[in-house]
Amino acid sequence: MQYVKELLKKAKEASFLLTKLDTQIKNKALFKMAEYLLTNQNFILKENQKDVLRATKNKSSKSFIDRLALDSKRLLSMSKSLEEIAKLEDPVGKLISKWSRPNGLLIEKMRVPIGVVLIIYEARPNVTSDCIGLLFKSSNVGILRGGSDALNSNLAIANVLYKAIKDVGINFSPFFIVKKTDYKITELLLKENDFIDLVIPRGGEALIKKVVKLSKIPVIKHYKGVCHIYVDSQVDFDKALNICVNAKVQRPAVCNAVEKILVHKDIAKKFLPLLKQEFDRYNVEIRGDETTCKILKKVKRAKRKDWFEEYLDLIVTIKVVENIDEAIAHINFYGSHHTDSILTLNEENAKKFLKEVDSACCFKNISTRFSDGYQFGLGAEIGISTDKLHARGPMGLEELTTYKWVVEGDGQIRQE
């Protein structure tokens, strides 16, 4: 398809131009992007409203519309993310290590951009500006394939950011929005390993599995967030209740919202009624194991599939466990290795949990909602990787680089 060929050609050419930009001009452009998101918010919100109205007419779920919708507060957050990215150290050209050999060779290991990165994501317009900011600062060209449901929003954001880049004197485009909605374009892009260096899919499990199946390009997977909180026997009830409610209720439609809560048997009879009372205030549906259902009357009994499921909704599954070992074993088996948190006053149990839980992010006494690149001080995130290679957890600037070897000498030749 001619559209794809032209897009790839422009992206590859831009990748070589982008590596020539120094940190100062990149930061200047990022601050300008942040400014323009706010000064052009009426235009962006107007275009976003078109997508929201269409989703409403199509009777999309509340959680879907929540992910799709923008407002002044979310635009301000997007703007701040771009500013934070501008303030971060530029990883490009950074020396990872350096040493000399007995024969006089100077060996350097240096961070460099990955190249051209294809981002495939669903209806979350804030992802557009976050990805553009991170890719630009790390000198990677982005090809962004957003969901068709958010096309108006994505194009509006991109047009504003294009203008910001142009207004600081950059005369080429360092990112490209796929404007056509035909899914065949995605399939074609996933075969272009000569032009695209990395694929990062962000979305539901079905999307990610399909991308992995079709792609001839390396993929960093951002699978579902089956996040757990384990409430230990020694715990501050008030803090634990507040954390559990925050983790489930603040934004239930995101990947770092808690989906499963495990409670130690010694506190279950006291803690669970208090937790249900809090959840009832927000209409959270509780599904429980046998013990939970005995303690909390009229609670729906959890099925086996519930322990694997990412609801992205006001639903939570609760299990009473014998001890911390059962909690850890349950998380490692049923979890998605995304983010899991222990709430405890017992330091030994905390250390054990943080060491033995096999997840990208392991927390102590905080909400799972902190699993976020911005909260980690990364400025934003390209996603939260549940892979182990080459990146894990929130992916910031360094995770968007690879490295090369730079070796200097003075006429040395190899003798053996």
- In Å, how far are 35, 170, 346 from 310, measured between CA atoms? 36, 42, 29
- Omega of the bond leading into 390 within 30 degrees of 0 (cis): yes
pLDDT tier, 222 (very low <50, low <70, confident <90, very high otherwise)? confident
Query: Do 209 and 120 contact (CB within 8 A), yes or no?
Result: no
Distances (CA, A) of 353 to 324, 325, 339, 358: 8, 9, 12, 9
Side-chain-side CA neighbours of 317 within 13 Å: the count stands at 24
The 3-state DSSP class for residue 200 equals strand
What pLDDT does 63 receive?
Answer: 80
> Residue 63 contacts by C-beta under 8 Å, 6 or more apart in sequence?
252, 253, 312, 313
Q: What is the pLDDT of residue 374?
A: 87
Spatial distance between the Cα atoms of 83 and 88, rounded to a whole number of angstroms: 9
Element (H, E) at 22: none
pTM of the complete model: 0.89
Residue 318 CA from chain centroid, whole number = 25
Q: How far apart are CA 63 and CA 253, in angstroms?
A: 5
Looking at residue 253, what is its pLDDT? 85
Q: What is the mean pLDDT of the chain?
A: 96
- pLDDT tens track for 146-170: 999 999 999 999 999 999 999 999 9
How high is the pLDDT of residue 141?
98
Domains (range + CATH), the chain:
2-220+395-408 (3.40.605.10), 227-370 (3.40.309.10)
Average confidence (pLDDT) over 276-289: 98
* Helices 324-334, 347-356: inter-axial angle, 10-degree rounding: 20
Angstrom CA distances, 70 to 47, 66, 75, 160, stand at 10, 8, 7, 15
Per-residue pLDDT, 58: 94
Would you place residue 361 in the very low, low, confident or very high pLDDT band (cuts 50, 70, 90)? very high
Pairing verdict, β 401-408 and 106-113: antiparallel
How is residue 29 written in tokens?
């452009």
Distance, in Å, from the CA atom of 274 to the CA atom of 282, rounded to the nearest integer, reads 14
Residues 198, 113: Cα–Cα separation, whole Å: 11
Please compute the mean of the pLDDT values over residues 371-395 and round it to a whole number: 90
Q: Are strands 141-145 and 116-121 parallel, antiparallel or unpaired?
A: parallel
Q: What is the pLDDT of residue 29?
A: 98
Measuring CA to CA, which residue among 144, 143, 134, 164 is closest to residue 44? 164
Q: Give the model's pLDDT for residue 28.
A: 98
Q: State residue 62's pLDDT score.
A: 85
197: Cα separation from own chain's centroid: 19
CA 400 to chain centre: 13
pLDDT of residue 204: 80
Instruction: Give the Cα separation of 369 and 250 in Å (integer).
Output: 8
- Over range 250-262, report the average pLDDT: 95
**Element at 328 (helix H, strand E):** helix 324-334
pLDDT of residue 30: 98
What digits encode the pLDDT tens for the residues 323-334? Answer: 999 999 999 999
pLDDT at residue 388 in the model: 87
CA pair distance 322, 334, nearest whole angstrom: 17
3-state secondary structure of 228: strand
- Rounded to whole angstroms, the Cα distance separating 263 from 284 reads 17
